[in-house]
A and B are shown apart, each in its own frame.
Chain A
Amino acid sequence: MNIEKTQNAAELEIKVRGRLDTATAPQLEAELKESLSGIEKLILDFAELDYLSSAGLRVLLSAQKTMNKQGEMVVRGINETIAEIFEVTGFCDILTIE
C-alpha cells in the first residue's frame, strides 16, 4: 500500500494505492491519527485502491467518527468491487461517497 497526502489549509486529501488489508490498515490508521487534528474536510481518494478488507473498513469507520465531530469526510473514485463491499456491509449509508 502507498499513501499520498496533500493538505490545503483545513482540507486534507489522502490517496491510497494498492491493498488496504490486515497488514496495511494499521499504517493508514496511524497516518490518520497523526494528520486529522484541525482538519475540517478529509477526502479519501480510492481510485487506485485494489483491495479492501474489514480491517480497512474499521479504519474508515473510525475516521468517519472523528470527522463527524470536526467537519466532513468524502470517499472518492471507488471502483465496482469496492462499491460492492460498501454496499454489502452497509457502509454506503455511513460514508459520503462521491
Chain B
Amino acid sequence: MIKIEHLRKEYPNATPLKDVCVEINKDDVITIIGPSGTGKSTLIRCLNQLDPPTSGKVWVDGECITDKNCDISKIRRKMGMVFQSFNLFNHMTIIENIMAAPVDLLKKSSQQAYDDGMELLRTVGLAEKAFNYPDELSGGQKQRVAIARTLAMEPEIVLFDEPTSALDPEMVGEVEAVIRDLAKKGLTMMIVTHDMRFAREVSNRVFYMDEGGVYEDGTPQQIFDDPQKENTKRFIKRIKIFEKLITSRDFDFIKFNNDLDEFARKNLVPKKSLYRLRTVFEELCTQIIIPELEKDFVLSFQAEYSQKEETVTAAIRYSGKEFNPMDSGNFLSVSLAENASESICHSYSGEDEFTNTVTVKVK
C-alpha cells in the first residue's frame, strides 16, 4: 500500500530521518515509538507531504507521491491526519466541521454529508453534540470529533500524530477506545505514541525509531517482550545510561560526582543505589584500578539504570595488562565495593581495545 524508499529529512540544525526504508501493508495498524527527537512525527508528516522530505521516495498504491508532477491533494484525500491539537474550526458547529471537507472536496451533497457525518459522530459517541461548538466540548470530545472529521474524507489510511498527548489523563481512554474500534474495523493506521500499553494493545506492527530511521520493526510481542537490538532493549526497559571516559589520574573527581548526582536526580535513581554506585566507582576505579594503570590509559565507566526493573549495573573497561581489582590486596576498598554490589565479575580479552572488563551488579 505504501512503500518508503531511502526517505531523508534534513532541517538546518538536525537530520531526524537519515534513511527510512519500510513498507506498510493494507490493514496494518502501526504504532511508532521511540525517544524524543527521533523523527516519529517527522516521518508521518513527510508521508502526507505536510513536511516535504529532503530526498527519497514514497509510493502510495503504486503512485510516487514524492514526484513533482503528483497531485498531492488527491493523495492527501487518501491519507487522513489527526493532530495533537485537534485543529477544529471554532466558528462552526461540530457537524459543520465534519461536513465541510466532504462537501467542498468530495462534492457530496449537503444532505449526504450530513447523514454520513451524523453516522460518524455516532461511531465516536458524540451524535448529541452535533450542534454544539468546539469550545463547548472537552479535549477528549474535541479529539473524537477531529477523528470523525478525518474519517469523513473516507481515507484509506489515517496518520495519528500523538493523538492523546495534549489531553488530560482522564480523557485519554475515550480517544484510545475510538482508535481501538477503528483498528478492529480494519482501517489502516499509523499512530505516533508515547503510550506503550496502548501501542501493545492496538497495533499489529511496531516501529521503534532511532538513529535516523526505523531501527527495529516487529510485532508488539517482538518489540516489547523480546527486542533484538540494543537501543530498543534500552528504550523498552527504560534504561538510562551514564558514561564517562577517564584518561588521566588527575581527572576531575568532583565534577564526575556532580555529573553522577545530576544523572541520578534526572532519572529518579533511588538514593541508596546512587550511594552504592558512587562507592563502586570510588573504591574500584579511583582507589584500585586507576593507580595501577600505565601512564596513557583510557578507562570507561558506564552505569545503566533500568527504571522498569529499578536495577543498576556498572561496566568498567580499561586497557593494559590483565588486572582484576578484586585480587589487588586493597582489603578496605574491596570490602566496601563488595558490600555495595550483588556481584563483581572481571574478564580479560587481549584482542579488544579495552582489554579488561569489570561488570558490577549494584545492590
Q: Which residues of A does B touch, CB under 8 Å?
A: 19, 21-23, 51, 53-55, 57-58, 81, 84-85, 88-89
Q: Decide yes or no whether B311 CB sits under 8 A from chain A.
A: no
User: Are B332 and A21 interface neighbours, CB within 8 A?
Assistant: no
User: Are B253 and A84 interface neighbours, CB within 8 A?
Assistant: no
User: Please, which residues of chain A bring their CB within 8 A of the CB of B336?
Assistant: 53-54, 85, 88-89
When the two chains form the complex, which single residue of A19, A57, A81 contacts B332, counting CB atoms closer than 8 Å?
A: A57
A-B contact pairs, 14 of them (CB 8 A): A21-B282, A22-B286, A22-B287, A23-B257, A51-B275, A53-B283, A54-B283, A54-B332, A54-B333, A58-B332, A85-B339, A88-B338, A89-B332, A89-B336
> Bound complex: CA of A88 vs CA of B363, how far in Å?
15
Interface residues of chain A: helix, strand, loop or mixed (majority): helix
Which A residue sits closest to B278, measured CB to CB? A51
User: Please, which residues of chain A bring their CB within 8 A of the CB of B347?
Assistant: none
Which B residue sits closest to A22, measured CB to CB? B286
Assuming the contacts A84-B339, A85-B339, A89-B335, asked whether A54 and B287 have C-beta atoms less than 8 A apart, the reply is yes
> Bound complex: CA of A70 vs CA of B351, how far in Å?
56
Q: Would you give the shortest CB distance from A13 to chain B, in whole angstroms?
A: 26
Which B residue sits closest to A21, measured CB to CB? B282
Query: Which B residues, 272 to 310, have Cβ-Cβ distances below 8 Å to chain A?
Result: 272, 275, 278-279, 282-283, 286-287
When the two chains form the complex, which single residue of A19, A23, A55, A84 contacts B287, counting CB atoms closer than 8 Å?
A: A55
> Bound complex: CA of A19 vs CA of B254, how far in Å?
11
User: Please, which residues of chain B bring their CB within 8 A of the CB of A84?
Assistant: 339
User: Please, which residues of chain A bring their CB within 8 A of the CB of B335?
Assistant: 88-89
Which B residue sits closest to A50, measured CB to CB? B275
Which A residue sits closest to B286, measured CB to CB? A22
User: Please, which residues of chain A bring their CB within 8 A of the CB of B339?
Assistant: 84-85, 88
User: Are B275 and A81 interface neighbours, CB within 8 A?
Assistant: yes
User: Are B253 and A22 interface neighbours, CB within 8 A?
Assistant: yes
